[in-house]
Chains A and B, each alone.
Chain A
Amino acid sequence: MTTPPQFEIYFDGEPIPCRDGWTIGAALTAAGIRSWRTTRHRQRPRGLFCGIGVCFDCLVTVDGQPSLRACLTPARPGDEVRTQEGTGR
């Protein structure tokens, strides 16, 4: 990477550096984070899988709204991203 990150988002309260146009999934992955959801039945961690909006494995809660696809959702400065448990509701 040649240019510095342009803004921050927050993951469970911790600041994460982010670039213009990155998805939340990209920002979390670039920060070394691999999972941001646990499943309903077995409480298993999940993160990016298909990366293109098909599999819905990367669901995450952003600014209180649950079950958004991290691989599609563009990061905006100050986004509060939270680990989602179960249905997220």
Chain B
Amino acid sequence: MSADLVVAGAGIVGAACAYYAAREGLSVTVVDRGPIAGGTTGAGEGNILVSDKEPGPELDLALLSNREWRELAGLPLDGETFAAAVELEHKGGLVVASRQASLDGLGRLAAEQRSAGVQAVAVPARRLHDHEPHLAHDLAGGYLYPQDMQVQPMLAAAHLLRMARASGATVLPHEPVTGFLRDGERVTGVRTPRREIPAGAVLNATGTWAGELAALAGVPVPVAPRRGFVLVTEPLPPMIRRKVYFADYIADVASDSAALQTSAVVEGTKAGTVLIGASRERVGFDRAFSLPALRLLAAGALRLFPVLDGVAVLRAYRGFRPYCPDHLPVIGPDPRAPGLHHACGHEGAGIGLSLGTARLVTQALTGGTPDIDTRPFRPDRFGTEAAA
């Protein structure tokens, strides 16, 4: 067994890269230490957002990804479309502010985002209920982001892997990379407990474990876990149309604090349940549930949608965002270990950013011109202190 590309990691990013590369005619083998989509992919809300990003490289990648999702949406699949199979909804995001000062800040951000190509529509307080009839009545106003989308991330990853297989890729779950094949500096394949797989290139798409895998190749990549919880309600009739969140979410996403932060993010799903996020804290891989965090999420959701008060919470889940110190993903060839590429460190935005990332990775592998400037995502940008 040998391949043009071995993708380590069968989460959404690995799945997207495998599909894009296989579509370009590369022979691809995907390996994963566990089941498909067993890490962060299945533990989020399925965000495909432009609204929560300040102008800069991440927003550029988000816009590129947004276009890719729209393109893939209409692809025929199983007698329906890709969009239907993966529950892709062009639902739009509604960012709201509780006070005028915060609305003013939102307005400044929206203006900057517009100049970067984002659609953002001001919604005055009296029109908020045209968009969300059940929203609280004491809000100062908000902005509508029609480009924001939502997807069922597990289905998206599974279908991307299936499409990759249909294009000739091989997927090997429960097969961890235990070492690299080397030719001097050069990475020439991977070793697993079952076999050696020689490869033209190896892609590190292992999410929160990306630092460990990179270390196996002798190169530091500073990806760390940032824990988050999500609450899930009983199934309800459609009552929340868009992804709705408070403006302070944007500040929390960009924050460097290790302490618990929560900001209300509420959205419905095709299945009828309502998802309630979002919390962030840096506590390593501690899987314990924190009741104070869950209580804050519940309280935040009720500030947005008082109507949910008597609705039952059926479950909660947790996940770990793969997080880099500068909040940017790591994408592209690693000059310190030729043959090794990275696609990791997307923090909480990996679902949305996966397709744009796959495009950049494939362009790098096939010698194409990248759609956007990839220098901000360079794997060696962190310097020597990154090893810590």
B is a partner of A: yes
A residues neighboring B (CB under 8 Å)? 40, 65, 67, 86-87, 89
Q: With a CB–CB cut-off of 8 A, which chain A residues contact B312?
A: 67
Q: With a CB–CB cut-off of 8 A, which chain A residues contact B235?
A: 40, 87
Q: With a CB–CB cut-off of 8 A, which chain B residues contact A40?
A: 235, 272
Determine the distance from Cα of A86 to Cα of B237 in the docked complex, in whole angstroms: 9
Nearest CB in chain A: distance from B313 CB, A: 13
Q: Is there a chain A Cβ closer than 8 Å to B387's Cβ?
A: no
A-B contacts, 13 listed (Cβ < 8 Å): A40-B235, A40-B272, A65-B310, A67-B234, A67-B312, A86-B237, A87-B234, A87-B235, A87-B236, A87-B237, A87-B272, A89-B236, A89-B237
Q: SS class of chain A's interface: helix, strand, loop or mixed?
A: loop
Minimum CB distance partner of A86 in chain B: B237
User: Number of contacts between A and B (CB, 8 Å)?
Assistant: 13
Q: With a CB–CB cut-off of 8 A, which chain B residues contact A87?
A: 234-237, 272
Determine the distance from Cα of A65 to Cα of B309 in the docked complex, in whole angstroms: 13
Interface residues on B, range: under 10
B residues neighboring A (CB under 8 Å)? 234-237, 272, 310, 312
Q: With a CB–CB cut-off of 8 A, which chain B residues contact A86?
A: 237
Q: SS class of chain B's interface: helix, strand, loop or mixed?
A: loop
Nearest CB in chain B: distance from A60 CB, A: 14
Determine the distance from Cα of A89 to Cα of B235 in the docked complex, in whole angstroms: 10
Q: With a CB–CB cut-off of 8 A, which chain B residues contact A89?
A: 236-237
Q: With a CB–CB cut-off of 8 A, which chain A residues contact B234?
A: 67, 87
Minimum CB distance partner of B310 in chain A: A65
Nearest CB in chain A: distance from B377 CB, A: 43
Determine the distance from Cα of A89 to Cα of B272 in the docked complex, in whole angstroms: 11
Determine the distance from Cα of A65 to Cα of B312 in the docked complex, in whole angstroms: 12
Determine the distance from Cα of A14 to Cα of B54 in the docked complex, in whole angstroms: 61
Nearest CB in chain B: distance from A84 CB, A: 12
Q: With a CB–CB cut-off of 8 A, which chain A residues contact B310?
A: 65
A-B contact sample (11 more), CB < 8 A, given A40-B272, A67-B234 = A40-B235, A65-B310, A67-B312, A86-B237, A87-B234, A87-B235, A87-B236, A87-B237, A87-B272, A89-B236, A89-B237
Nearest CB in chain B: distance from A87 CB, A: 5
